[in-house]
Amino acid sequence: MFVLVNLKAYPCDPVAVAEAAATVADDAGVRVAVAPQTAHLEAVAATGVETWAQDVAAVDHGSHTGAPLAEAAADAGAAGTLLNHSERRRTLADVDGAVRAAERAGLETVVCANNPRQIAAVSALEPDAVAVEPPELIGTGTPVSRADPEVVTDSVDAAAAVGDAPVLCGAGISTGDDLAAAADLGAEGVLLASGVAKADDPRAALEALVEPLR
């Protein structure tokens, strides 16, 4: 299972979370990555944790003020990037361009989508993985695996019908039970944010999350 922690713009210490994630990943033998704000990519990468950008733009070098360049993220230590998160939606054409930009820079990609139909559409763009996240459940603490498990199973089927991109389960993930349920439904990873970024003890939260994988 792949655990991808999105720090969003939460007022947490990104280096402290990254250090906790690196320790838990090593201790549990689980792949854990952290996606901080762009300005914190280099500091997070310096901890040794697998580091992801929260977004890159569908642009190449040139006149693109404010656009997060894929090569700049890679230079700062990012190994991959989230794309099309529900809080930063893109047109399908822009998602396609961003996937291609990430490929050009050697970044792995996870493309988010709201439901199985959208999972099928973004899977056709050949990202490295896709993540299903019903927006109404994001940040609620109610995981989609419990609220509507068919969203996960149908997304797994939709992705498989188009290509071979593994499916991550997001929205409301915070506990080891949530991770285990996602795995039982066919997901190959989880995408979460507040369950770790807003936790009083991020390391303890991550240890509890990956406990079913030990």
Q: Is 85 a catalytic residue?
A: yes
Nearest to 111 by CA among 164, 31, 167, 41: 167
Give the pair of three-digit tokens for residue 59: 């642009």
Q: Are 34 and 70 in contact (CB under 8 A)?
A: no
The amino acid at residue 135 is P
Of 19, 40, 50, 85, catalytic: 85
3-state secondary structure 122-146: HHCCCCCEEEECCHHHCCCCCCHHH
Q: What is the distance between the alpha carbons of residues 213 and 19, in angstroms, rounded to a whole number?
A: 20
Of 19, 40, 50, 133, catalytic: 133
Residues ≥6 apart with Cβ < 8 Å to 74: 105, 106, 107
Q: Is 188 a catalytic residue?
A: no
Q: How many CB atoms lie within 10 A of CB 115?
A: 16
Q: What is the distance between the alpha carbons of residues 6 and 194, in angstroms, rounded to a whole number?
A: 8
Q: Which residue has the tokens 């500091």?
A: 43
**Residues forming the active site:** 85, 133
